[in-house]
Amino acid sequence: MSVPASARGMTATLAENIEALAERRRRDAAARTLSDRVAGRITRFAGSMSFVLIHAVLYGAWFAVNLGWVPGVEPFDPTFVVLAMEASVEAIFLSTFVLISQNQMAASADRRADLDLHISLLAEHELTRLAGLIEAMAERLDVPIDRVELAEIKRDVEPNSVLDALDREKPAASEA
Q: What is the DSSP letter of 6?
A: G
Write the CB contacts of 45 (distance below 8 Å, at least 6 apart in sequence).
51
- Hey, CA dihedral for 71, 77, 82, 84, is it positive or negative? positive
Burial of 152 (0-12, 13-18, 19+ CB in 10 A): exposed
Amino acid at 100: I
Q: What is the pTM of this model?
A: 0.70
d(CA 22, CA 24): 5
Average pLDDT over residues 43-62: 97
Mean residue pLDDT across the chain:
90
pLDDT at 171 over 80: no
Per-residue pLDDT tens over the stretch 35-47: 999 999 999 999 9
d(CA 147, CA 97): 58
Phi/psi at 104 (5° precision): -65, -45
> What is each CA distance from 141 to 12, 84, 144, 151, 170, in whole angstroms?
35, 82, 9, 19, 46
Q: What is the DSSP letter of 38?
A: H
CB atoms closer than 10 angstroms to residue 66: 19
d(CA 38, CA 93): 13
Q: Which of 68-72, 129-133, 151-155 has the highest mean pLDDT?
A: 68-72
- All structural domains of the chain with their residue ranges: 9-46+79-175
Distance, C-alpha 72 to centroid of its chain: 52
Per-residue pLDDT tens over the stretch 71-83: 999 999 999 999 9
